[in-house]
């Protein structure tokens, strides 16, 4: 099944924002997309039981999605749209790179 670039990028952006929101709600008990300034974005308070295991499994995904954006997050009191636009820009580039790699792999498999 062939997916257009626009559709892939939009699904990637929606999934990225949903991932951050759900992660913050479940593991940080904060109903926000982006934590307040000064809070650790990657870390969480001490977790118990299943939350600790799931958080450890999801940590590499969060590093890829959020890691390069940490300098923007640590700015003193940035306006919220600035962070959302920054995430959207970074994730768009990431989604385009992933789409390119997937399409290249599919093309190489069709040739053989």
Q: Which tens digits make up the pLDDT trace of 10-56?
A: 998 999 888 888 877 777 666 666 665 555 555 555 667 777 777 77
- In 3D, which of 1, 75, 65 has the Cα closest to residue 33? 65
| Model confidence at 86: pLDDT above 90 | no
- In 3D, which of 83, 93, 99, 42 has the Cα closest to residue 66? 42
Q: What is the pLDDT of residue 53?
A: 73
CA 8, CA 109: separation in Å to the nearest integer? 20
| Model confidence at 67: pLDDT above 80 | no
> Which of 72-89 are b and which e, b meaning 16 or more Cβ less than 10 Å from the residue's Cβ?
bbeeeeeeeeebeebbee
CA 37, CA 63: separation in Å to the nearest integer? 18
Q: What is the pLDDT of residue 60?
A: 79
**pLDDT (average), residues 94-110:** 88
Radius of gyration (C-alpha) of the chain in whole angstroms: 16
**pLDDT (average), residues 66-72:** 74
């Amino acid at each position: 099944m062939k997916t257009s670039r626009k559709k892939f990028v939009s699904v990637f952006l929606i999934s990225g924002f949903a991932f951050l929101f759900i992660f913050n709600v479940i593991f940080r008990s904060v109903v926000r997309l982006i934590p307040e300034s000064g809070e650790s974005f990657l870390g969480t308070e001490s977790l118990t039981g299943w939350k600790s295991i799931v958080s450890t499994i999801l940590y590499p995904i969060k590093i890829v999605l959020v890691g390069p954006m940490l300098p923007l997050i640590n700015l003193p009191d940035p306006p919220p749209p600035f962070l959302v636009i920054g995430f959207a820009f970074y994730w768009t580039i990431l989604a385009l790179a992933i789409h390119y790699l997937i399409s290249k792999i599919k093309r190489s498999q069709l040739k053989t």
